[in-house]
Structure 1
């Protein structure tokens, strides 16, 4: 297994590089399949702290994965998994918040839930152990299916505790630890902006791009830039002006295409 992991990562990176050049649905679908395990892992963690079906969380997670694929720049040297996790997890948590605010527990179920708590406490005293759902349901005169539906509805209504433990196969973490770090998100947004600027620069003719980079990134004078790229200082000024206009047009088009 360990021998195949580097090969899979290499293949994934090759596809990510190919996708950056050609935004084809076929390549994107291959990337989704290759990284499906990451979505399943996060869905598994989150599903243990909510009543939403694992399958629903998994499907929502794929939306985050696709967003990460769209925004990832392979040339930055960042591991795709580290880049993708906040997107996948964020989609799931947004979904849970939206669902939580919309859940309406019927009054009868609220009353039955309170009665169930009382029955549970009595059975613990009588049995000397935690009662099973079947036993609680029988004492309440309802079906075990309805009792489980009541418990699930109430759990869905309650806010998730950030201190709640998410059990995994070999370790446990709190739900708060699965939330995206605010500072990291800010840095990630800055990195995304930088990547967009780099893509805009890459659209320019070589000497125009060099003129902009020398002036704005290396803080060289237009005369120094003119000597380096073999044109007049006036031409450098014209190239910079034209290049910036082209970059603005490119970034505006990207904003329209992404809908952001």
Structure 2
């Protein structure tokens, strides 16, 4: 019975999203917010345990992220709405906390697992001669795939994206991550929240190894040599991955802007 109701709810949400995309009616949007409010509650509850802000305040902020997700969702791309909306909700809450100067802590257990994952990933690469999947990493760490995804998100979002770091690409000069953002007004460290979310969603769509290279360079400020050593690949490969990744990101960002 529960599965049937869940499927019925998903169908109802999908139909409303289709209707909203066509007519942009406020009452349809409000209905979508009501039906998806559980996503906001879950995120608000999580972040309440990470800071001193009130649950009600985080609910209100999270709803802004949900509304933004509803506005930007494109049913033609076939994504699940919940997977699309959660980064918007989470991003809005994190942006709010950072603006208030709130220090968001990552659980010590997650920090330890993230460090352990680096060693485990290297071992699995040697065993399988390829990059391990998220499921394989989670199994090796003896945690659920869902918890591993939460750890990855917490680690990636623990600090704002450093968009002004230049990356040298051989003879072609340097590239700034902020240059991928279509709106020139936001090509700075203080990137608009909506564009930050769009950028992070584009990163998620990249092949895992390419995404890892970009995250190590732009999020963790590692040199190309350090990235090569950490991932067990050559500096030339790192440079190629950066060039390829930046090109794909630019394409994905322009698509999102359209």
For normalisation by structure 2, the TM-score amounts to 0.47
Larger Rg: 1
| TM-score computed with the length of structure 1 as normaliser | 0.46
**Greater RCO, CA 8 A, separation 6+:** 1
